[in-house]
Structure 1
């Protein structure tokens, strides 16, 4: 599990709460039920109206995926593929059949099984690439729903504030109630802006980033399977796959346990 999303959102909420406390406010002032219902239910409603039933049904699972999914480690795939290339070169593709069953990566296992079954390399590439494209499209739809919510939420919050101010105007004859009424009116804008920038947009961006990493991982697997099927040497397979693995944050290659000097 990668806790980046939960930690990041938690830090943002702590910053908001700390700001309220340091300014002498009360946390309970933020939690007014009417504006919160308007913002959260209204945001979900308009996002649902702009999507399709399939996207909405996938929302809970995508939310869970954003919070718990771990990006695949390319070094593990490269190591596995290099090992398979060595054995295939020594013993032939059929020798990989037993080993293929024990591979946990479903995509790698299916692709390898097609190669073992003698499927033409072009067909393997087309089928696996189509899976990558399908996954990329599905992930983009899931991320779009959350990004749409991030776009709608501030506007829904403004609607809530306008409704609250209308209520304030009806209480002009009671000056002692105006302060509380005006503060309550702006709570809707607070939740609209905060929910967009603390919840929905980070979740959408997290899903897009996970999709990018997972699809890149699948592309590495495709190249590895095709190289194995072509009878490439383990060293060549390792070099070929290492060139597809993106640089880590420190400028080193995270592939097959190999690193590159940042000054090189």
Structure 2
């Protein structure tokens, strides 16, 4: 569990509610069901409308990364590659066949299979880098779903405020209802701006960081596998890959 993500959400909304309280308002003044329905429903509908089915499915799959990002242990990855290099030096590239069959990570398993098949280093690099770029693009396209929600939310909030003001205009003959009515109308604007800047856009940026780190880890694996294909010494491979720790 990423406690910084949880802490960020708590601090952001606590600041919003606390500032309202210090201004003399109450938390009840920020609660408005119709405004929430307009902002959340309208934003979600607009984002779904523009998002292809595959991207939407992937966006929902990686949502958990916000609070449970992939655990990428770079030192363990280096140790794993070095163990492969040692096995290849002792038993040849065919000695990696059993290791490739038991490897859980599909990306690493594909690289090992290419090694076992005796593929040229340039071919291995091209195949793995293509897989990396395709996976990275797929995930970035999925993140755009949350970015689009962050872009639509403030505008939908304004629409909600205008709808509220339309109802307020019906009571112009009753000044006692104008003040509270206008206040409620602008709650929709607060919802739109707050959800966009305190939740949706930070979520999208957090997911982008997770994707970049995952790509960085896969670059490490590519360099390690290419080094094994070139027959480099395991110690040299370890020293080369140690740069990914910084």
TM norm structure 1:
0.86
Structure that is richer in helix per residue: 2
Give the superposed CA RMSD: 1.7
Structure 2 counterparts to residues 164-175 of structure 1, below 5 A: 164-175=164-175
Indicate whether 1:207 and 2:213 are aligned: no
Q: Which residue matches 2:177?
A: 177
Q: Which residue matches 2:163?
A: 163
Tell me the distance in 1 between the aligned counterparts of 2:234 and 2:192. 54
Q: Which residue matches 2:32?
A: 32
Q: Could you list the per-position Cα deviations for residues 169-227 of structure 1 after superposition, in whole angstroms to 9, with x for gaps in the alignment? A: 22111111112101101100000000001111011111111110001111110110010
- Contact 1:71 1:214 (8 Å CA) reproduced: no
- Contact 2:55 2:142 (8 Å CA) reproduced: yes
- Contact 1:5 1:202 (8 Å CA) reproduced: no
Tell me the distance in 1 between the aligned counterparts of 2:166 and 2:222. 60
Q: What's the secondary structure of 2:62's corresponding residue?
A: helix
- Contact 2:58 2:139 (8 Å CA) reproduced: no
Q: Which residue matches 2:93?
A: 93
Structure 2 counterparts to residues 56-135 of structure 1, below 5 A: 56-135=56-135
Tell me by how many angstroms 1:71 deviates: 4.4
Tell me the distance in 1 between the aligned counterparts of 2:173 and 2:110. 73
Q: Which residue matches 1:218?
A: 218
Structure 1 unmatched ranges of 5 or more: 248-264
Q: Which residue matches 2:47?
A: 47
- Contact 2:74 2:245 (8 Å CA) reproduced: no
Tell me the distance in 2 between the aligned counterparts of 1:146 and 1:71. 22
Q: Cα gap change, 1:107/1:31 in structure 2, threshold over 3 Å: closer, same or farther? A: same
Structure 2 counterparts to residues 179-198 of structure 1, below 5 A: 179-198=179-198
Q: Could you list the per-position Cα deviations for residues 53-87 of structure 1 after superposition, in whole angstroms to 9, with x for gaps in the alignment? A: 22223332232233322341211111111222123
Tell me the distance in 2 between the aligned counterparts of 1:114 and 1:14. 52
- Contact 1:71 1:210 (8 Å CA) reproduced: no
Q: How many positions carry a matched residue from both structures?
A: 246
TM norm structure 2:
0.92
Tell me the distance in 1 between the aligned counterparts of 2:71 and 2:23. 40
Structure 2 unmatched ranges of 5 or more: none
Tell me the distance in 2 between the aligned counterparts of 1:157 and 1:187. 8
Tell me the distance in 2 between the aligned counterparts of 1:37 and 1:191. 10
- Contact 2:65 2:210 (8 Å CA) reproduced: no
Tell me the distance in 1 between the aligned counterparts of 2:70 and 2:62. 13
